[in-house]
Chains A and B, each alone.
Chain A
């Protein structure tokens, strides 16, 4: 097929030609695209090995045109450690949800960061367990209704949200740790830049890098895609402030 002369949007090279299984309006797809674009721009596709999580993005390996493995629930940072330690010149990234990373996989992520594993983590915070039908996650907002907090998360009995970017930024092994959001084009552009910096951190051997992305789950939130974007802006961003929690001096010098 001849490409139209006014083509403004096409599949990045980092993607396979596979339609995704994500729900309409879900920002998992946006996050995927940003990663694929960054890998293409940095010419890292053949060098990259991805680690998929258990969660809605369990099939991430179908969409990226790189080598991929699929981890047990929460264990992606440990698998990535195993890969990176035997292949230090490859680029290794994990893609993880908030149940995966901040609940069952808390041990693995904290210690990968503390060891300064030279891997990149893309962390999708959508405030619930999307894949299993919208149960409460460690990141669920106080008062937020989920299928396992039907009256809204009661902090007295169900505890408080965990802020991963802030927490991990206290660790010396971390080279780059920021939070961005996917709720509008401006923030998506900023998110892409952050993903780029995270992979630049790894490519330069500057330690553990993570980008936390505030994301939507219209299906389980019971909202339209547009209303979910608004929910992120109005409720998630105040609870999870966007910002650079740790940027090592060496990476501050990098201009892209």
Chain B
């Protein structure tokens, strides 16, 4: 297919359709509403299910119901709406049915604003709903990557009977970029041996997240844990830039990773040997890659559009062997490459933070913003 100009949100919608999306349930919220609007036209045109739900609670439970039948189903929302979906997400995880949820993140907490942010990283990767449950989380940094990851998200969700979230920020959702769409895939009946689609010529099936007997719940959780270890072993994805000769490494996902790449390129023209690691799966996280890098580089700089959430995962992988610095903008503010370049120069000049927690040091440097 030739490249066309696509708006991020609409590209995500069309990519899901071409991946065989059978049902979509959503609720309007900026900056993801174009996905809902696009699919309100596209899905009925193809004879597929579309419902604008009464709330995100409604939407995620419609997803849950459709997922139980084995259909390819997704919802999309943005931060406050995704918070409402956490109940449903936990049930979907506990029932072990596949579903895809896209979060086009915005500034928070609370109602916050509608500007691009990455502050739901912890909710997506580490927390969110109640109970012990794993989930796959993909983080694209461009419209093209968002398109490519949509198809993958359904495949992974079904392969591992697990939630697959795609997290991006409002800038990717709203920006227009040339991108190539995949071919339209036909809808196939996957005939899952667990789907509750009517006990016609077979034994009846039950799908539930209840294990009233604690030892049975423990077995279920350990089963999920075992499957998660398979995901960790097989599905880690990331992109490396200039790592071969890098003396220190920036780690950033999504838009923060993309902005960092511009800064890295600029630093390279100044002769600074800095590289970039951009995780694509933030869950499972590329701990091993960072672990190995920590053995040969002098340190890391984590850049995020939040107060330092993925930062903790990088530190976990580095285990104190080399310094890990943090630079973030939060609340819907996107960093400029120059800001990251200034951090790169500081580090290249050997000014690592060694006397205190690097996040405290960053907070102190942000005093100019705080007092503005």
Q: Is B207 a contact partner of A79 (Cβ separation < 8 A)?
A: no
What residues of chain B lie closer than 8 Å to A59, measured between beta carbons? 210
CB distance from A180 to the nearest CB of B (A): 27
What residues of chain B lie closer than 8 Å to A72, measured between beta carbons? 61, 64, 87-88, 91
**A81-B51, A82-B25 known; A75+B61 contact, CB < 8 A:** yes
Q: Is A85 a contact partner of B196 (Cβ separation < 8 A)?
A: no
Q: Which residue of B lies closest to A104 (CB)?
A: B57
Our pick among A45, A47, A49, A84 for the contact of B196 (Cβ within 8 Å) is A49
Q: List 8 A-B contacts (CB under 8 A).
A: A68-B196, A68-B204, A68-B206, A71-B65, A75-B61, A82-B69, A86-B71, A111-B58
Q: Is B196 a contact partner of A69 (Cβ separation < 8 A)?
A: yes
A110 to B57, CA, bound (A): 13
What residues of chain B lie closer than 8 Å to A71, measured between beta carbons? 61, 64-65, 91
Q: Which residue of B lies closest to A111 (CB)?
A: B54
Q: Which residues of B contact A (CB under 8 A)?
A: 22-23, 25, 49, 51, 53-55, 57-59, 61-69, 71, 73, 87-88, 91, 95, 196-201, 204-210
A87 at interface by CB-CB < 8 Å: yes
Q: Is B68 a contact partner of A83 (Cβ separation < 8 A)?
A: yes
- Residue from A71, A79, A110 with most neighbouring chain B CB atoms (10 Å): A79
Q: Is A46 a contact partner of B199 (Cβ separation < 8 A)?
A: yes
Q: Is A70 a contact partner of B61 (Cβ separation < 8 A)?
A: no
Q: Is A82 a contact partner of B64 (Cβ separation < 8 A)?
A: yes
**A90-B198, A108-B61 known; A69+B208 contact, CB < 8 A:** yes
Q: Which residue of B lies closest to A54 (CB)?
A: B210
A251 to B66, CA, bound (A): 28
What residues of chain A lie closer than 8 Å to B65, measured between beta carbons? 51, 69, 71, 78-84
Q: Is A86 a contact partner of B66 (Cβ separation < 8 A)?
A: yes
Q: Which residues of A contact B (CB under 8 A)?
A: 45-49, 51-52, 58-59, 61-62, 65-72, 75, 78-87, 90, 107-108, 110-111, 115
Q: Which residue of B lies closest to A91 (CB)?
A: B198
Q: Is A67 a contact partner of B23 (Cβ separation < 8 A)?
A: no
Q: Is A82 a contact partner of B23 (Cβ separation < 8 A)?
A: yes
| Supplied contacts A47-B198, A62-B206, 14 more A-B pairs, CB within 8 Å | A46-B198, A49-B197, A51-B65, A65-B199, A65-B204, A69-B206, A70-B206, A75-B64, A78-B65, A79-B64, A79-B68, A81-B25, A82-B61, A87-B198
Q: Which residue of B lies closest to A114 (CB)?
A: B54
What residues of chain A lie closer than 8 Å to B62, measured between beta carbons? 78-79, 81-82, 85
**A69-B65, A78-B62 known; A61+B208 contact, CB < 8 A:** yes
Q: Which residue of A lies closest to B97 (CB)?
A: A69
What residues of chain B lie closer than 8 Å to A80, measured between beta carbons? 65
Q: Is A70 a contact partner of B73 (Cβ separation < 8 A)?
A: no
A200 to B61, CA, bound (A): 26
What residues of chain B lie closer than 8 Å to A52, measured between beta carbons? 208
What residues of chain B lie closer than 8 Å to A82, measured between beta carbons? 23, 25, 61-69, 73
CB distance from B39 to the nearest CB of A (A): 13
**A90-B197, A90-B198 known; A79+B61 contact, CB < 8 A:** yes
Please provide the 5 A-B residue pairs with the shortest distance between their CB atoms, ordered closest to farther. Answer: A82-B65, A78-B61, A79-B65, A70-B208, A111-B54
A65 to B57, CA, bound (A): 29
What residues of chain B lie closer than 8 Å to A90, measured between beta carbons? 197-198
- Residue from A61, A72, A79, A86 with most neighbouring chain B CB atoms (10 Å): A86
Our pick among B51, B54, B198, B205 for the contact of A48 (Cβ within 8 Å) is B198
Q: Is B201 a contact partner of A46 (Cβ separation < 8 A)?
A: yes
Our pick among A62, A75, A78, A86 for the contact of B22 (Cβ within 8 Å) is A86
A98 to B91, CA, bound (A): 22
A90 to B200, CA, bound (A): 10
A47 to B88, CA, bound (A): 26
Q: Which residue of A lies closest to B92 (CB)?
A: A72
**A46-B200, A72-B88, A75-B61 known; A85+B206 contact, CB < 8 A:** no
Q: Is A107 a contact partner of B210 (Cβ separation < 8 A)?
A: no
What residues of chain B lie closer than 8 Å to A51, measured between beta carbons? 65
**A67-B196, A78-B58, A107-B58 known; A85+B66 contact, CB < 8 A:** yes
What residues of chain A lie closer than 8 Å to B54, measured between beta carbons? 107-108, 110-111
Q: Is A67 a contact partner of B206 (Cβ separation < 8 A)?
A: yes
What residues of chain A lie closer than 8 Å to B199, measured between beta carbons? 45-46, 65-67
Q: Which residue of B lies closest to A67 (CB)?
A: B196
A59 to B201, CA, bound (A): 24
What residues of chain A lie closer than 8 Å to B207, measured between beta carbons? 68-70
A61 to B23, CA, bound (A): 25
CB distance from A167 to the nearest CB of B (A): 15
CB distance from A19 to the nearest CB of B (A): 16
A125 to B201, CA, bound (A): 35
A111 to B52, CA, bound (A): 11
What residues of chain B lie closer than 8 Å to A58, measured between beta carbons? 210
